[in-house]
Amino acid sequence: MDAFLTSLFALLLAEMGDRPQILCAALAIRYGRLTPIILGLGLATLLNCLISAFAGSMVNQWISEEPLRLFYALSLLLAGIGMLAWRRPVDLLENWTIGPFWTSFLGLFILQFGDKGQFILAATAARTDAWAFAAAGGWIGVMLACIPALIFQEKLAQMIPIKPIRYTVGGLFLLIGMALALSAWGIL
């Protein structure tokens, strides 16, 4: 249950105001139909979560607890830096003409692949034997972050203070990551 809840909350927070949310809102505005976009988002996110959690479970078998804690700390530190740093603009896939499902599925799969959420999820799964629970929690976390963007679209930015949330979560990730790193090195 720890892997499920950790990945759920970490990915929910990591995706707030991030590029997948922005792309989801743009696709909802463009197509006006939510069902194929939600299905594309769900499948793309599920595949990415399964890939990263399974990869993390492979790491679990190769290294001991202290390096795993350091790996998790590094994933949080990099996520924190990513949330505080400048982001390049999101390609809104305006030239893609393959329909709402395929555009959302392929666009979001590519956008999420190698993103900070995938590393957090891999590091979470690496620390447990329950990689499927980590994948499920991560999937639900991303879906909970992105579905409001589909429903509220550009109004979401007016309803929720995105920048303060990103800065707060980024700082929180940095603090937790630094504490875990110091603990892994035996300093704390």
What pLDDT score does 89 carry?
74
What pLDDT score does 142 carry?
94
pTM: 0.87
Backbone φ and ψ of 5, nearest 5°? -70, -40
Given a contact cutoff of 8 angstroms between Cβ atoms, the answer to whether 164 and 96 are in contact is no
Burial 90-111 (b: 16+ CB within 10 A, else e): beebeebeeebbebbbebbbeb
Query: What mean pLDDT comes out for the span 159-177?
Result: 87
pLDDT per position as a tens digit, 96-151: 889 899 999 999 999 888 888 899 999 999 888 889 999 999 999 999 999 988 88
What pLDDT score does 141 carry?
95
Range with lowest mean pLDDT among 76-85, 152-161, 168-177:
152-161
